[in-house]
Structure 1
């Protein structure tokens, strides 16, 4: 990756200065002029930006405004250039994750625009593509009141077509004429249409930003439109669920919580449920509906065993001295079905963990939210994960069947008031779809 060759590790030097301003109490509109440095003739955009936007959002606005594709690294800086020692840096996710190249910066995703610009004339620098080195200057021209329906970003002026990706930092008229069909072309309406695209709609709806980033990364892939449409379904209005709507759909979860509340659930010496409990649990856990054979030994009832272990994984039950006991969260959930609902939602969306399980969980939740009374498209989810670079240990692509082992899948298919049979094993109930939406923050 050519971006990396221009990064250098800085050691044994003083920390960078903190040049940020306090955040504003109110949201206003910043009218900002953005110029590509050293372009002749000038190539610039005038953009109205809401002051409370984070810099990762501003980065995507700039990508659209200059017709770039977010294919390279970027960073913002205050007080100087992007590699000046006296500048304060605001970094893209790659630079944050790569400690060797971290450069004492702050994540752009955690920094608001109003922390960098406050008064007219203030300047923020932006560097895109550390190889071609597109250096841009953002200068605050006006501070305007924000209307109630104020757009997050809108282009209101500009001149010149932006240089295309990977053209080698061409900024003079003669060079640009060789790589652009019309160097003077500037289409604000087209740019503003793009600023109403999925990324911006999802961010404004406060959908989990990690899912939004995946949607953005997959824009130009075979399944990009599919994931985008699934995610956009999260922005639709839905009728809130009442406690009465949840009880029948959570009956398998509730049985275990009620049983554990009665002094705990005793286990056999081998660590399994006892036969009487296996028989009773099998009547209410949906995935046991068409299990063949006697339902009296947990070791021979794999779906029940997997369900029970999932309850431990999500922090509702814990093993202690040969018994299954309620955790503190389990105690609250046992008494209040809404507490059970909120706990499951919080655990479905992993905040930490290995990257595969985080990404697989986010994509699965997006499709589950968009699939009430429909089959969860596991093969599509697997193809997306493969597109993101994941493989099985032997190098083969991710398969849909492998995703049935994820805790999110186990929870979602058991949130139902219907039996889960072989033909219906991937069916997402409307309540399970609502749980997926809740897990994603909407």
Structure 2
């Protein structure tokens, strides 16, 4: 029988929108405000690019403001992750404001419409009217002007709006429908968010399958180590054995008899070394002390690898992983042609440079591919084919990347 917990029904309307852009959300009262922020992002189609805050009138302490932990420190407000929705509205007016993007100032007016038991970990958008605004469109009035221009069939305004919309969203202007609300898509994203917030148990067999490539190589190296060629590569018979045993024949072409020419094997061996589980020593590939400790402990190996991907020890790689992993997990990631530009934009905004110049879309594409190649060293994708970029995760891969996300954000799963 499904466990029921206290829940709240929220009516959310974007201030000054006409016709109203609104949603009805049903969430557990115990949800932290930092996670309610993510629910609102999903419900309105925001991309979580900007700062946010909740503002509520408190009967005893006056107006209170909550934001994410870093912004809370800088803005001298309260940490949203330390308070639940139920705590926010207890004893207060049952209305409050969620403001997103302090430049465009998207004010979401929230009213507690009802309190009712809900299934444990249940997040739902039950109703909605009108699509959410386009990110960075200049606030509600800027968006209304954009919407009007996109619905024109000719004229300079229509052409400029169409070009901007297509550049920003990766979609053709013909797809724009201000009245359309994709409730199934919103709820699919809320279900993924629920799985992130409330961690489900992972079956031992799923854990073993995800970590198998790394564990198999550690076990194959053995306690005594594995002899390498004079150039420091795996021997041809081992290369072929890896491709066969791991079922990777469709990932590459050729005879699989030279590691330097068999990229999946080269990536796996180098990545396991980078994860400090193997090292080269006197012409052999040998386990490190950490490798010896984790080789037969599936759950500990899973946890260590999730941490290593979340915190790879290189700031740029950590930031790129933090961008790419949610795309892989998400229901509606950005269009493929946009991703490299988004990564480049985020890295440039964070002050990163490549040989003294700004990060280009080409650099962004390479960095995204590096993240994918790292993940291909595990069984997280349903299939990987030669020179193809996999997007579809296995069920175990999605659970693994949820754990990566939790570690990226130092998130403790809700009980």
In the superposition, the TM-score normalised over structure 1's length comes to 0.52
User: Corresponding residue for 1:360?
Assistant: 324
Mapping for residues 60-99 of structure 1, pairs under 5 Å: 73-79=51-57, 87-91=63-67, 95=71
State whether structure 2 residue 284 is matched by structure 1 residue 284: no
Structure 2: any 5+ residue segments left out of the alignment? Answer: 130-137, 143-176, 198-202, 404-415
User: Corresponding residue for 1:165?
Assistant: 139
Q: CA deviation at 1:72?
A: 6.3
Mapping for residues 211-290 of structure 1, pairs under 5 Å: 242=205, 246=209, 250=212, 253-254=214-215, 256-265=217-226, 272-273=232-233, 277-286=234-243, 290=253
Q: CA deviation at 1:406?
A: 1.9
2:401, 2:43 → 1: CA distance? 29
1:107, 1:70 → 2: CA distance? 17
Secondary structure, in 3 states, of the residue corresponding to 2:241?
coil
State whether structure 2 residue 91 is matched by structure 1 residue 146: no
2:121, 2:207 → 1: CA distance? 36
The Cα RMSD (Å) is: 6.0
2:14, 2:320 → 1: CA distance? 38
1:134, 1:152 → 2: CA distance? 22
State whether structure 2 residue 14 is matched by structure 1 residue 50: no
State whether structure 2 residue 339 is matched by structure 1 residue 384: yes
2:391, 2:49 → 1: CA distance? 38
The answer to whether the 8 Å contact 1:312/1:318 transfers is yes
Q: CA deviation at 1:95?
A: 3.5
Q: Deviations over 1:9-42 (max 9, x none)?
A: xxxxxxxxxxxxxxxx973233557788999xx9
Secondary structure, in 3 states, of the residue corresponding to 2:362?
coil
Q: Deviations over 1:34-64 (max 9, x none)?
A: 788999xx99998654313333454466679
Q: CA deviation at 1:398?
A: 3.2
Q: Which structure shows the bigger proportion of residues in helix conformation?
A: 2
Q: CA deviation at 1:199?
A: 4.4
State whether structure 2 residue 383 is matched by structure 1 residue 437: no
Q: Which of 1 and 2 has greater Rg?
A: 1
Q: 1:151 to 1:342 in 2, by over 3 A?
A: closer
User: Corresponding residue for 2:89?
Assistant: 117
State whether structure 2 residue 160 is matched by structure 1 residue 203: no
In the superposition, the TM-score normalised over structure 2's length comes to 0.54
Secondary structure, in 3 states, of the residue corresponding to 1:263?
coil
The answer to whether the 8 Å contact 2:215/2:296 transfers is no
User: Corresponding residue for 2:7?
Assistant: 29
Mapping for residues 316-395 of structure 1, pairs under 5 Å: 316-318=277-279, 324-327=285-288, 330-331=291-292, 334-335=295-296, 338-339=298-299, 342=302, 346=306, 349-350=309-310, 353=315, 354-363=318-327, 365-366=328-329, 381=336, 383-388=338-343, 389=345, 393=354
Q: Deviations over 1:383-418 (max 9, x none)?
A: 4232443689465423797368625425527759xx
User: Corresponding residue for 2:366?
Assistant: 402
Structure 1: any 5+ residue segments left out of the alignment? Answer: 1-24, 158-163, 169-189, 211-239, 371-378
State whether structure 2 residue 388 is matched by structure 1 residue 426: yes
Secondary structure, in 3 states, of the residue corresponding to 2:310?
coil
Q: 1:156 to 1:117 in 2, by over 3 A?
A: farther
2:370, 2:34 → 1: CA distance? 30
Q: 1:262 to 1:76 in 2, by over 3 A?
A: same
The answer to whether the 8 Å contact 1:30/1:140 transfers is yes
The answer to whether the 8 Å contact 2:280/2:286 transfers is yes
Q: How many residues align?
A: 333
Q: 1:109 to 1:351 in 2, by over 3 A?
A: farther
Q: CA deviation at 1:145?
A: 3.0
Secondary structure, in 3 states, of the residue corresponding to 2:66?
strand
Q: 1:425 to 1:139 in 2, by over 3 A?
A: closer
The answer to whether the 8 Å contact 1:154/1:192 transfers is no
1:45, 1:335 → 2: CA distance? 49
Q: Deviations over 1:179-223 (max 9, x none)?
A: xxxxxxxxxxx999948353443233347769xxxxxxxxxxxxx
